[in-house]
Structure 1
């Protein structure tokens, strides 16, 4: 039985955490023993992880406050668990794992970034300085891997592409859910756009709302559902009032029924300024939704122009609105074909079973150097 210790900055309802839950479920079914450590107190998926038999710990850190004691808390947990592999996720956890390796032996340390942009020059410098303490670094999109090499956050020989994976069974479009949820929300037969994600500046919901205001001029009966929480909510609600969007935009708050919401929707919308490889775009594709998204990070690795959606420039509401209108102008049959193309592509390239097998191969390496990295560098 292999022992894998996952270290992550925090555990909330977000893309990286969702991916880690998928990983834990698949590896536990294969007999792996897993501990998950969150630097700050975890708040999501705790019941699911407990049902899987994943032991969850926290280093009890506070957001934005460095705490050197976390090194020794982590060292104590590593000594207790004796993992075969330590796999960290996101910049703070990656740096903490590397520094902790100075104080405790680690057989294999893999660090994963989930975005094109994890911070400014200081974090990139810290990645460079601590690189010798990491065996392998991965990122979730080809665009992000290339950027990390360019900014020297990781050397070419030690960073590879390892995309997110998805369980398609969880996101098969349900006619029953569609009818039931639309009835509950009194949506009738309107065209519904859906957006899921944290209400934070990098997601650029301002551009989304500006674009939707233009769409309403052409399709006044359409609606936009936004599910998520975050510090931007009050500002975005005020913008809705200024744009006179009225009842056309619904802020749903925290939702854990993404699959049901996607069954009820007609199109998926994303306006981010930067991304890695968003889990939510994989979920939308698996749900058979045509997508209008910004052309940032790994989005174009999921959304193929004119095939399963359209891509707009970042922070360009006119362009995003044009992409939305293109989708809405299509007859339902064409939109269905676009959704089907997206689902087929995700099934071929991002199936969670295939991705887990690739991780298992990496976890099985006694050492990871240039040749093993080379072997896993393709998508």
Structure 2
């Protein structure tokens, strides 16, 4: 039986990299042949399929930032690869992967599924930039591409703001494998046993400045509150401001910043924490929160894209509107001080994970989407 050939195009970093690897390691490789086109400098870790075999990959000048020369070269080289490989379908990940794939396939008429993993226009810090980014997304709506959203929030954005017809806005929730084993920490533990945690680089998206305001507010009720913030070192444009704010709010004794943290250590730290806190302005469908569900953690989150797909108010945590500092702090304190609520949210987070975000079940959904949208070769 001929396998369905899927080419993935992306800058393989952060959650986008995690998403692709989970797909490759779970999709049935006897039915689907996967090929990856990615950035030259984004990852050194080989891609592996569900049988443990290496996945074929091509390295091109694909990067997060806009560069006319590099982007043109990436499009030109991708066109050559697509002509050579003749895939049945292209799955593009992130904004840059989407633009490259949609540009190339205007010439080749190969179907494209685009997973934004949080639309780029949400990252704009002013109205003008947002309008430009949104215009670009609208410009690349074509007859041969569909959105494959990573969350219901993202699916809604695709229809209501970008302008995709509802029948061309598909959904495959970001999903992970159940976490059955917690490895010992590979780094020294320098924080107290009683702590809350989060994963997020200091950036506009993650809004760590708000998290520090919340931490300071919590401190008025729980003086020895401690936050372990992971993933601080990668692409952290606001790190200097965050460090200044920590000093200004006298939060040095109450926070631990971990520059880089392995996924195994992230699991260990989340599992031993009191709860998971996120103050993000927007997400696709954040893996750290999905992991918190799988590890049975209560969650306190801002009501943002992605977060609202993973937190049900009063069921497995609290979802706070309008970035309200007092309400976020009260939600954290309420969970810490109430064992009954903590246990209830713990159980419900686990239920939600197994019902909605277990990739060992959900991969069949993606396989069906690939089959229905593939190009049939003559």
TM-score, normalised to structure 2's length?
0.87
Q: Aligned equivalents of 2:218 and 2:186: distance in 1? A: 23
Look up the match of 1:245: 251
Contact 2:285 2:307 in 1 (8 A): yes
Look up the match of 1:374: none
- The correspondence for 2:67, drawn from 65, 68, 72, is 65
Q: Aligned equivalents of 1:186 and 1:42: distance in 2? A: 30
Look up the match of 1:359: 366
Look up the match of 1:104: 108
Contact 2:37 2:59 in 1 (8 A): yes
Closer, same or farther: CA 75–309 of 1 in aligned 2, 3 Å: same
Q: Which has the higher helix share?
A: 1
The C-alpha deviation readout for 1:78-131, integer Å capped at 9, x for no partner, is 12322222100112211221111133342x211112225535223332333332
RMSD over aligned Cα atoms: 2.4
Q: Number of residues paired by the alignment?
A: 356
Contact 2:95 2:120 in 1 (8 A): no
Q: Aligned equivalents of 2:8 and 2:112: distance in 1? A: 10
Look up the match of 1:302: 310
Q: Aligned equivalents of 1:160 and 1:31: distance in 2? A: 21
Whether 1:231 and 2:240 are equivalent positions in the alignment is no
Look up the match of 1:213: 216
Closer, same or farther: CA 343–366 of 1 in aligned 2, 3 Å: closer
Look up the match of 1:255: 261
- The correspondence for 1:201, drawn from 198, 201, 204, is 204
More deviation, 286-295/308-317: 308-317
Q: Aligned equivalents of 2:226 and 2:346: distance in 1? A: 19
Q: Aligned equivalents of 1:29 and 1:239: distance in 2? A: 49
1:38 is displaced (CA, Å) by: 1.7
1:31 is displaced (CA, Å) by: 5.2
Look up the match of 2:171: 161
1:48 is displaced (CA, Å) by: 5.2
- The correspondence for 1:86, drawn from 85, 90, 99, is 90
Moved beyond 6 Å, runs of 4+:
none
Look up the match of 1:375: none
Q: Aligned equivalents of 1:89 and 1:99: distance in 2? A: 14
Whether 1:150 and 2:160 are equivalent positions in the alignment is yes
Give the unaligned 5+ runs of structure 2.
Answer: 123-129
Closer, same or farther: CA 76–142 of 1 in aligned 2, 3 Å: same
Q: Aligned equivalents of 1:78 and 1:208: distance in 2? A: 44
Contact 1:127 1:154 in 2 (8 A): no
Closer, same or farther: CA 198–55 of 1 in aligned 2, 3 Å: farther
Look up the match of 2:336: 328
Contact 2:200 2:208 in 1 (8 A): no
The C-alpha deviation readout for 1:250-275, integer Å capped at 9, x for no partner, is 11111112212212222101001112
Closer, same or farther: CA 214–90 of 1 in aligned 2, 3 Å: same
Whether 1:279 and 2:287 are equivalent positions in the alignment is yes
Look up the match of 1:127: 137
Closer, same or farther: CA 137–343 of 1 in aligned 2, 3 Å: same
Q: Aligned equivalents of 1:143 and 1:215: distance in 2? A: 29
1:367 is displaced (CA, Å) by: 6.1
Q: Secondary structure, in 3 states, of the residue corresponding to 1:304?
A: coil
More deviation, 56-65/17-26: 56-65
Look up the match of 1:24: 24
Look up the match of 2:54: 53
1:173 is displaced (CA, Å) by: 6.8
Contact 2:61 2:73 in 1 (8 A): no
Q: Aligned equivalents of 2:157 and 2:47: distance in 1? A: 35
Contact 1:164 1:355 in 2 (8 A): no
Q: Aligned equivalents of 2:100 and 2:47: distance in 1? A: 26
Look up the match of 1:377: none
Contact 1:116 1:274 in 2 (8 A): no
TM-score, normalised to structure 1's length?
0.86
Q: Secondary structure, in 3 states, of the residue corresponding to 1:202?
A: coil
Closer, same or farther: CA 126–233 of 1 in aligned 2, 3 Å: closer
